[in-house]
Chain A
Amino acid sequence: MREVGYFDIVERVAEICVKAACLLPEDVFAALEKSVGIEVSELGASLLRDCVRNSQVASEKECPICQDTGFAVFFVEMGEEVRVEGGSLAGAISEGTALGYSRGYLRKSIVDDPVFGRRNTGDNTPPVIHLELVPGDKIRIVVAPKGGGSENMSALAMLKPSDGKRGIVEFAVKTVVEAGGNPCPPLVVGIGVGGTFEKAAILAKKSLLRPLGQPSTSSGYALMEAEILGRINSSGVGPQGLGGSVTALAVHIEHFPCHIASLPVAVNLNCHAARHAETTI
């Protein structure tokens, strides 16, 4: 059994927290640059140019792309032949989050209780950790900091199987259009279809990590992605919700088998600062 030191994980996690906050992934940057030429609204195009400039400034100054450096959400693939020496995996990820958010001058946006008191925890912990056991002796850790503005406009519906493809398309388009400028369009739209109530939501979030605009490997879902993207971009919502033709940069669908009675659909919206970073130990 391979061993990985607790503090090695802490350090790596801190690094990817800061990197994700300050450096926009290349595929997202390229999509933003391309969108400037597509946007038909003059104001919209100017707002998209500002998005490009913003990520350049953030990268040059090593400062956060957005002040909302988010909830630290982790997707971890833990090899079955590796163990953490000197502490727990969850503990190391939490400590790494606190270290990264402090060292990187990132905003601490987590309150200790959703209803009573709402006191800031002061170090952006706890993180949310999605753990998957995989073959091998490596630990792959992906952080996807999630801002409140786009998370708040996300939605989940337990559709009827008879609602089918049409129901999914309508629900996704409605979620984006009703969100207007709140989630900071242009968006990346993550959709989870199938599974259970919670599985659909996790799939939706995970789909946001796919290389931007890479279609689903299943042709039926790839066609749905294109149809939803087309509908969203003809809605007029536009950059920042102020009107235009670029409301979303991409739509990603992930699917999973489901119960004979069910058709769960989760739509997780991500702002144009579609941030994530990863490390493999």
Chain B
Amino acid sequence: MEPRRITSPLDETTARNLRSGERVLLDGVIYTARDAAHQRWCEALGTGDEPFFESEGAAVYFAGPTPAKPGAKVGSIGPTTSGRMDAYSPTVIRKAKIRAMIGKGNRSAAVVEAMKECGCVYLAAAGGLGALLAESVIESEIVAYADLGPEAVRRLVVRGFPAVVAIDCEGNNLYETGPMQFRTVK
């Protein structure tokens, strides 16, 4: 089946209509944030500080790229393990009202609960494919926490960024159903 074309920021209806297992090609704006950026972001959300970007409806990509070579928009940029953001994601989903997360690997029950409640979807990008994924990034600029180096928050504009709906807004989870489908021993 052809991947579904979606544009970020996503509206709630689009997010809630995505189904676990579906392939998508993402266009539009996404923001990178990983461990250290999430820690600061959650501290800022706790104190009511100004958000550093228009987070409502945003897609957050758990990634820290290699430095861009001269003439390139961005370096290699694949996903990092999402599980390390599990401690922060429920707060970010509820308070910053993000609509999508992009990463790799399974999520905790608490994250899935917040996703169902708020209509946030979790997309899996293929880990270890940083060179290929960089091809769909057409713009990149640092918008916050530049001092964090590879962990700075970047605003990316992407075209045809490939991903799979891993966990949908109803909590259907390809990290559980996929392996179960292909298991050949108990």
Q: Is B truly associated with A? A: yes
Q: Interface residues, chain A, CB within 8 Å of chain B? A: 40-41, 43-44, 47, 50-51, 53-55, 57-58, 61, 63-69, 105-109, 118, 120, 122, 147-149, 152, 180-182, 184, 231, 234-238, 240-245, 271-273
- Give complex CA distance A68, B130 in Å: 8
Chain A residues within an 8 Å CB radius of B36: 118
Q: How far is the CB of B186 from chain A (nearest CB, A)?
A: 10
A67 touches B182 (CB 8 A): no
Contact segment of B10-18, B44-52, B90-98, B170-178: B170-178
CB-based closest 4 A-B pairs: A243-B178, A236-B183, A184-B127, A236-B179
The answer, yes or no, to whether B143 is at the interface (CB within 8 Å) is no
Choice from B63, B162, B175, B178 contacting A67 with Cβ under 8 Å: B63
A109 touches B131 (CB 8 A): no
Given A68-B80, A152-B81, A272-B128, answer yes or no on A182-B105 (Cβ-Cβ < 8 Å): yes
Q: How far is the CB of A152 from chain B (nearest CB, A)?
A: 7
Chain B residues within an 8 Å CB radius of A245: 182, 184
Given A234-B185, A243-B182, answer yes or no on A271-B127 (Cβ-Cβ < 8 Å): yes
Choice from A53, A66, A122, A235 contacting B130 with Cβ under 8 Å: A66
* Residue on B nearest A122 in the bound complex, by CB: B149
Choice from A41, A61, A149 contacting B81 with Cβ under 8 Å: A149
The answer, yes or no, to whether B65 is at the interface (CB within 8 Å) is yes
B23 touches A63 (CB 8 A): no
Chain A residues within an 8 Å CB radius of B166: 242
Render B59-89 as a binary contact track against A, CB cut-off 8 A, 1 for contact: 0000111111100100111101101000000
Residues 114-153 of B contacting A (Cβ, < 8 Å): 124, 126-132, 134-135, 148-151
Chain B residues within an 8 Å CB radius of A120: 148-151
Q: How far is the CB of B109 from chain A (nearest CB, A)?
A: 15
Given A64-B75, A149-B80, A235-B183, answer yes or no on A184-B128 (Cβ-Cβ < 8 Å): yes
Q: How far is the CB of B115 from chain A (nearest CB, A)?
A: 17
Q: How far is the CB of B142 from chain A (nearest CB, A)?
A: 15
A181 touches B182 (CB 8 A): no
The answer, yes or no, to whether B155 is at the interface (CB within 8 Å) is no
The answer, yes or no, to whether B164 is at the interface (CB within 8 Å) is yes
Choice from B63, B124, B150 contacting A181 with Cβ under 8 Å: B124
B104 touches A181 (CB 8 A): yes
B127 touches A240 (CB 8 A): yes
- Give complex CA distance A61, B77 in Å: 14
- Give complex CA distance A47, B132 in Å: 12
Q: How far is the CB of B123 from chain A (nearest CB, A)?
A: 12
Choice from B69, B106, B151 contacting A241 with Cβ under 8 Å: B106
Pick from A68, A118, A120, A122 the residue with the most CB of B within 10 Å. A68
Choice from A107, A236, A271 contacting B64 with Cβ under 8 Å: A107
Chain B residues within an 8 Å CB radius of A43: 21, 23, 164, 178
- Give complex CA distance A28, B133 in Å: 20
Chain A residues within an 8 Å CB radius of B63: 67
- Give complex CA distance A243, B181 in Å: 7
Render B32-59 as a binary contact track against A, CB cut-off 8 A, 1 for contact: 0000100000000000000000000000
- Give complex CA distance A147, B148 in Å: 19
- Give complex CA distance A160, B21 in Å: 42
* Residue on A nearest B80 in the bound complex, by CB: A149
B175 touches A241 (CB 8 A): yes
Given A50-B129, A184-B128, answer yes or no on A63-B104 (Cβ-Cβ < 8 Å): no
B104 touches A184 (CB 8 A): yes
A63 touches B134 (CB 8 A): yes
Choice from B68, B81, B179 contacting A105 with Cβ under 8 Å: B68
Q: How far is the CB of B1 from chain A (nearest CB, A)?
A: 9
Q: How far is the CB of B133 from chain A (nearest CB, A)?
A: 8
Choice from B65, B128, B149, B179 contacting A54 with Cβ under 8 Å: B128
Chain A residues within an 8 Å CB radius of B75: 63-64, 67, 105, 107
B126 touches A231 (CB 8 A): no
Given A66-B76, A242-B124, answer yes or no on A54-B131 (Cβ-Cβ < 8 Å): yes
- Give complex CA distance A212, B112 in Å: 38
B128 touches A242 (CB 8 A): no
* Residue on B nearest A181 in the bound complex, by CB: B105
Choice from B77, B105, B182 contacting A236 with Cβ under 8 Å: B182
